[in-house]
Structure 1
Amino acid sequence: MKHKLVTKNQYEHRLLNVIDYIYQHVDGELDVNALADVACMSNYHFHRIYREFTGETINVTVRRMRLLKAAALLLRSNLTQQQIAKLVGYSSVEAFNRAFSKHYGETPHQYRVTRVEEKVTLLYPKSNKEYTTMYQVEQQIVPTMNLIGVKHKGDYMKIGQAFEKLSVMASKHGLIDGNTRFFGIYYDDPKSVEQDKLTAKACISVDVNKLPEQHQFELLTIPSSNAVSLLFEGDYPELEKPYEWLFGEYLPQSDCELKDFPPFEEYLNDVKTTPPQQLLTRIYCLTA
């Protein structure tokens, strides 16, 4: 039994290295042979081990990570499609367009022009910006929730790296099941703090009694509290829009007093199996 646990720990460590490598080299050559070398595994076995640990093939992971970065660049930069294609590892605009259209159901150009609006300057008190999109806000009571998490530092759009690693680590201990909830806690304002200094945590709900005595997770607690929340449907790079509305429009006009606790998000469906435009994210802010 001890030998099996050591072997499993070795596999886990190697796959975490692969996840880090993909995020750091998303613009480079990420074929299976290269990633098998990073994992120090035979190409013949790497496919199967990665799929068993993560629930998807390595090629699907690479494509998903590349296209998520592409979507963020389309919304957050003025780069051309040719420049973006190069930055996410596609040899031609045509290949990039085909992959993006298959994944998102629309071309990169359509994705950009239908979502990019005049950028909102977040001001307190409320600015004179007229918001074209409104959201339904719910007032609710959030129960106490125990979480385990992995730290993330840098661009919030890359927190997927922490979630990928958290899933591998938690699955090894049998901590993920049909009742597991996934949360992201965000400690800084990305429009006020330099990107490389942003801090966040990728988290899942957990029964603390099931945690092994020795583990690498950080334990966190979301306290029982009143809260306001809104449900957003769409891809993760578009989440800036509901945040801008919530903090620039809704909260300044409400009678809500925010608690000294960072906003957090709950991800209600699986990014691996859900079309990007159907992803559901609930944004929470605790209130007094």
Structure 2
Amino acid sequence: MNRLAGLRQAQGIERVIDHLQGCLRAQQTLPDVAALASIAHQSPYHFQRLYRALTGESPGQTLDRLRLLSALQALQQPGASITDAALAAGYESAQALARRCRQRLAATPRTLRADAGLRQHWQRVLAQPPADDNEDKATPLKVEVRALQPFEVVLLRAQGAFGDLDASFGRLFEWAQTQGLANDLLHLVGIAIDDHRDVPARAHRFDCGIGFATALPSLPSPLRRQALGAGPHAVVRHVGPYEQLQVVSDVLMRDWWPGSGHALAEAPLYFHFLDDPEQVPAERLRADVCLPLAG
């Protein structure tokens, strides 16, 4: 099971990368995440997390790497202009390519075109995903598979830096107080829409959620309700800064799930926060990473 599941995962990721390369060559509109998940034969709920766990980068970072590689390959062609290379690789202009080369390669397209050794060095680097930095090679996870009881939460979509999520939870608490629900609080959860390691802080999206011991009233926009916790889950208790939860999720998806014998449920992975960061030191914060499994 381990070998077969791992092979299927790898083949799915290869299909996505091949498709992205084909889109670049044909200068086609790039597919969205749902379409990429379909190509990989993965659930949209889990595709991005699984993709990063297996490759070390997000789909967007893969695209950025392949686009730069395509531009460098075009620059080595005799007579190719910088504008030609930029447009062939999907950049809007020579200026856009130059800006990205300076940011990522610390060199200008003109320098890269003239210096074959430097260009070939970066072609070798960009041809492969980033090397594993061993950030998630700590003690193996202790995973418990257990049936959880379903519960309902009120969600609020937050956008901004991961460290600023307290403000969104604060808005939820204020709403709960107006509804007389503050004393019935049972659950504090989070659902990562984006990985805070992969996107700019301003673009990071995260669903903040709270659940109660009593039934929920009608919800005003932008609040919404969602059921969580039904059925079997793989649960990992994390102790430490909440910023590390994405790393724990990577290890769970990459190292535990393929050989577990479990299929993934059509439901999101979520974090069940057990401590208040304002009251507990970061190194002692507890949270459960909950991965829904098909029953």
TM-score, structure 2 length as denominator? 0.49
| Other-structure match for 1:225 | 231
Q: Deviations over 1:60-110 (max 9, x none)?
A: xxxxxxxxxxxxxxxxxxxxxxxxxxxxxxxxxxxxxxxxxxxxxxxxxxx
Pairwise CA RMSD of aligned residues? 2.9
Distance 1:194 1:270 in 2: 25
Q: Structure 1 stretches of 5 or more lacking a match?
A: 1-120
Decide which of 196, 212, 216 is 1:206's aligned counterpart: 212
- Report the CA distance between 1:223 and its aligned residue: 5.5
Q: Which has the larger radius of gyration?
A: 2
Change (3 A) 1:189 1:261: farther
Distance 1:240 1:213 in 2: 29
Where do residues 77-96 of structure 1 align in structure 2 (5 Å cutoff)? Answer: none
1:152 maps onto 2:158 in alignment = yes
SS at 1:202 equivalent: strand
Decide which of 234, 244, 257 is 2:250's aligned counterpart: 244
| Other-structure match for 2:261 | 255
Distance 2:150 2:165 in 1: 24
SS at 1:239 equivalent: helix
Where do residues 17-96 of structure 1 align in structure 2 (5 Å cutoff)? Answer: none
Distance 1:136 1:248 in 2: 14
Q: Deviations over 1:101-153 (max 9, x none)?
A: xxxxxxxxxxxxxxxxxxxx62169x986823222111011222111121112
Change (3 A) 1:258 1:189: farther
Distance 1:178 1:209 in 2: 10
Distance 2:204 2:221 in 1: 25
Change (3 A) 1:214 1:165: closer
- Report the CA distance between 1:208 and its aligned residue: 5.9
SS at 2:290 equivalent: strand
| Other-structure match for 2:54 | 123
Distance 2:202 2:266 in 1: 23
Decide which of 283, 286, 290 is 1:284's aligned counterpart: 290
Change (3 A) 1:192 1:167: same
Q: Deviations over 1:12-53 (max 9, x none)?
A: xxxxxxxxxxxxxxxxxxxxxxxxxxxxxxxxxxxxxxxxxx
Distance 1:251 1:153 in 2: 29
Distance 2:289 2:186 in 1: 18
Does the CA contact (< 8 Å) of 2:184 and 2:212 recur in 1? no
Distance 1:232 1:223 in 2: 18
Change (3 A) 1:150 1:245: same
Does the CA contact (< 8 Å) of 1:266 and 1:281 recur in 2? yes
Where do residues 155-166 of structure 1 align in structure 2 (5 Å cutoff)? Answer: 155-166=161-172
Q: Which amino acid aligns with 1:187?
A: I
Distance 1:135 1:253 in 2: 14
- Report the CA distance between 1:158 and its aligned residue: 2.7
Change (3 A) 1:254 1:169: same
Does the CA contact (< 8 Å) of 1:173 and 1:212 recur in 2? no
Q: Moved runs in structure 1, 4+ residues, more than 3 A?
A: 127-130, 154-157, 188-198, 207-210, 212-216
Distance 1:194 1:258 in 2: 29
Does the CA contact (< 8 Å) of 1:181 and 1:204 recur in 2? yes
SS at 1:134 equivalent: coil
Q: Which amino acid aligns with 2:175?
A: M
Change (3 A) 1:251 1:243: same
SS at 2:186 equivalent: coil
SS at 2:232 equivalent: strand
1:186 maps onto 2:117 in alignment = no
Distance 2:246 2:252 in 1: 10
Q: Which amino acid aligns with 1:123?
A: L
Does the CA contact (< 8 Å) of 2:161 and 2:202 recur in 1? yes
